[in-house]
Structure 1
């Protein structure tokens, strides 16, 4: 659902210009420093990029799902650090509050997330609870007007720089699986600590670490929705939307890598002609372009369905699975088209993009988990009409 075509076109043009004119020249600096210059973060705040999908009533742009994925495809034609810095606020860092927060909770935190004053994150995954999110062991014990949280989380994007954590914890003693889980919004405070950023294969400039809770006291009014036992339902709402968002964020880098590869093969000559004229290279281009088109089409159709109020659990899972795998295939073909220059960081950014996009097939559900989920939902749904 696009509410105002002219307004959206202006936003997309602004994103496009920022990515190409401001961010692309900075990518190598961000990679070497493993950080984003503070003035760039301030610029992103002024542009309102932290609040894309936060409702307008709370200071955001209130983008529909279709508008959000179109913007995400433009923003992510860049190194992953840019997407990671703003994407948690406009995605998993705020969506639990948007979906299930009380009015008081929304008024308190959403405007500050939308402005970028606060950086949010989702603290879900644990050392022993990754693909099986219902195996969470972090506990939240009620003590008067507070909950006391104990446990640890792992692989939490933006944790080292986050001010606000959406935390899923077990509030019912002896509960198992998805029962007894509750969602909290937790401010950085004594009892909550984050580890040093991980040393990772790629995604320099994107901070990821553990989060630890050691008798962390959280006021009871920070239980999202004010009701215990609804945490798993809340997180599934977050993930269904985020999987569409992430599928779009997988499509943008694929577009960028193909653009770089096509520029390279058109400029490099071998055997007296541009490499682009060789048919086997053209086959690589054709496969990339076709798969990007397929992913983009899938994401847009699923986004429109969500805007219509339809259940997108199956389509969101298919989009995330296909788009993340597609991006990996495009990265591999792009290295192949660059040849040796695609492997050497001194000659092209392709080796960095290749490393940056590899985790897409792991987070928000591994490809294998999505295969199982797609099959389960498809069998439940029956023959498609």
Structure 2
């Protein structure tokens, strides 16, 4: 196995890092403090073509390989996970699902404008009463001639207020997974409302919304793939890509924490020398460095499996489980190294910890990942 990046991948990673350091990082702490959406980040994502990176070239996208995508997401996570969230939901969850499951007409309708960033996508699965148990979701799509009428509520939807198309899972049939279908719903449709959610612990400048669909009418051409009953399959396959995204983002958060720890520990002096010279501080730095490398390698393994057309669902769960928990450990260690200064928002440690914490919750909690892994290894479901 060759773990070296190609010249093109190294150059790409360098260009993303340079842009993120120049544009994204300088505003990250202020945006977090003010709960201000990173408009400068979104503008750059569009200009640089990052919002179309993995969309097929025939639709105007970059057609990039999975590892290049992981490199993009890691660098964005390192700079500001709020900006990362725009890309990973737009590409990993929404555009990816359209490219994989959509009819030719659906791909032609949505992917060209998604590739330029003119249209952003969001992924509407989670409901107020159904998070880890999406097969029992309550949103309903009732057939009405050649149309569907969709009614329901979705919550914690990233890009919910800025998206032009929502990938909505709604029930078209009986109970359970087989009764759920996926729809491509234009967000300007009558009856579609996005209500921003404020007061979050972390990802405070990320666009997060509750979606209310009140008798939203869409045509049969909005049914993803033209087939009813595939909604949970669509969602789970999208979440495999989402877990690749989150693994890469968490690696970036942990990398940022490591860099901040090393920088601060080399400057801060106590007991007559830099605190980096104290054994227990070095222990925290060393533990974090190992976590970063492990998270990155697990993430790259997922990307490699996907690139070779092999199954990667289990690997994605392993990577997401480890990387998310590692990012929390790294950010917590970063705060500890900073001492009292880590507890104020002049320094990045607090934001890193708050942004990392949610990654153990969404797109499959830590506990759900363990159940997925356990089921794969034992052949027995503990759900």
TM-score range, shorter chain: over 0.9
For residues 179-194 of structure 1, the aligned pairs below 5 Å read 179-188=178-187, 189-194=189-194
For residues 10-25 of structure 1, the aligned pairs below 5 Å read 10-25=11-26
For residues 194-213 of structure 1, the aligned pairs below 5 Å read 194-213=194-213
Q: Aligned pair in 2 of structure 1 residues 58, 200: CA closer, same or farther (>3 Å)?
A: same
Alpha-carbon contact 2:139-2:151 (below 8 Å) kept: yes
How far off its partner does 1:40 sit? Answer: 4.1
SS of residue paired to 1:205: coil
SS of residue paired to 2:193: strand
CA distance in 2, matches of 1:97, 1:134: 20
SS of residue paired to 1:200: coil
CA distance in 2, matches of 1:234, 1:222: 14
SS of residue paired to 1:91: helix
CA distance in 1, matches of 2:277, 2:132: 44
For residues 3-14 of structure 1, the aligned pairs below 5 Å read 5-14=6-15
CA distance in 1, matches of 2:40, 2:22: 15
Q: Aligned pair in 2 of structure 1 residues 365, 37: CA closer, same or farther (>3 Å)?
A: closer
For residues 1-385 of structure 1, the aligned pairs below 5 Å read 5-36=6-37, 38-172=39-173, 175-188=174-187, 189-346=189-346, 348-380=347-379
How far off its partner does 1:143 sit? Answer: 0.8
CA distance in 2, matches of 1:344, 1:38: 25
Question: Please, what TM-score do these two structures have when normalized by structure 1?
Answer: 0.94
How far off its partner does 1:310 sit? Answer: 1.5
SS of residue paired to 1:325: helix
CA distance in 2, matches of 1:322, 1:27: 25
Consecutive unaligned residues of structure 2, counting only runs of 5 or more, are none
Question: Please, what TM-score do these two structures have when normalized by structure 2?
Answer: 0.95
Alpha-carbon contact 1:128-1:135 (below 8 Å) kept: no
Q: Aligned pair in 2 of structure 1 residues 65, 289: CA closer, same or farther (>3 Å)?
A: same
**Corresponding pairs, count:** 377
SS of residue paired to 2:93: coil
RMSD: 1.7
Consecutive unaligned residues of structure 1, counting only runs of 5 or more, are none
How far off its partner does 1:196 sit? Answer: 2.8
SS of residue paired to 2:91: coil
SS of residue paired to 2:128: coil
How far off its partner does 1:64 sit? Answer: 1.7
1:41-84 deviation line (CA, Å, top 9, x unaligned): 22221101111221111111112222211221122111222112
SS of residue paired to 1:111: helix
How far off its partner does 1:87 sit? Answer: 2.4
CA distance in 1, matches of 2:60, 2:237: 22
